[in-house]
Amino acid sequence: MRSLLFVPADAPKKLDKAMTSGADAVIVDLEDSIAPDRKGAARETAAAFVREAMTATARPRLLVRVNGLSTGLTDDDLDAVIPARPDAIMLPKAEGAASIIHTDAKLAAREAIVGLPAGHTRIVAIATETAQALFVAGTYRGASRRLSGLTWGAEDLSAELGAEANRDADGNFLDPYRLARAICLAAAAAAEVQAIDTVHVDFRNETALRRECEDARRDGFTGKMAIHPAQVAVINEVFTPTAAAIAHARAVVAAFAAQPGAGTIGIEGRMYDRPHLAIAQRLLTRAEAAGVA
């Protein structure tokens, strides 16, 4: 998933528009974008939308962001949406393996009740929204086969830290949030799941969005969340491997295949070792998923 577009669960017109936005995934949001007195109605709208959208022949992946485990609202969210068979749920304010194991059990029970195959519903976790989450981010590995991605967030974390801002005057993340970003990236690598970059809230600033996407791709993130359909095209473009990158990756893979016992190989006067082979293989996998391999 290169682009994951948030849409409030109680906005049917926006949900319909999201389906044709070009996003790889649509996140139907029951958490932050829904007022407390609107949660019940939003669950009904979310379930109806997902149920209908899942029948489309060509569709984005469908995720539902539920309310966090500490809110007491998660069970009601899952009761409403799991019968609609979403591809995944997004778990906010996750705090390491324990929260994933807990959520896995909730999903397993509901899948059994509605007749879904065990493990149908995947989990993407937001891994940095509380201070405690930063200290347990290394525990996700092996927590559940459902876990397919980790992402991070700065807004809730800044509120918990009591910070006045999470970005500087130029729009760059400040040190506590750069730390959270790095921890998320390392946690995803350790858990062998997708690392997804956080949202860029200034959705009209395409230049800044592109720069942030390019920085994220450079560092190892393979996708980014969006808060507006206008952001999707840039995110997809930046996280889709270019023809030149694909050609180079193929050359690296072919060179190692020609010398299977080699630890290093030379291509056009430059040396490449096994880590470069792993990077090339991952890039080709992403290219295939994007349909450009």
20-47 pLDDT, tens per residue? 999 999 999 999 999 999 999 999 999 9
Query: Could you tell me which residues come within 8 angstroms of residue 185 by beta carbon, excluding any fewer than 6 positions away?
Result: 195, 219, 220, 221
Residue recorded with tokens 């149920």: 51
Residue 195: per-residue pLDDT: 98
- How many C-beta atoms lie closer than 10 Å to residue 251's C-beta? 15
Q: How far does CA 271 lie from the centroid of its chain?
A: 34
Q: Are strands 61-65 and 25-29 parallel, antiparallel or unpaired?
A: parallel
Q: With a cut of 70, which residues of the chain have pLDDT below it? A: none
In total, the chain counts a number of residues equal to 293
In this structure, are residues 269 and 275 in contact, taking their beta carbons and an 8 Å threshold? no
Cα dihedral across residues 7, 8, 14, 15: positive or negative: positive
pTM for the predicted model, two decimal places: 0.93
Supply φ then ψ for residue 62, to 5 degrees. Answer: -115, 115
* Domains of the chain and CATH, by start: 3-239 (3.20.20.60), 243-290 (no CATH)
Residue 260: per-residue pLDDT: 86
Rounded-to-integer distance, Cα 216 and Cα 226, Å: 14
Residue 28: per-residue pLDDT: 98
Residue 262: per-residue pLDDT: 87
Residue 114: per-residue pLDDT: 96
Residue 268: per-residue pLDDT: 86
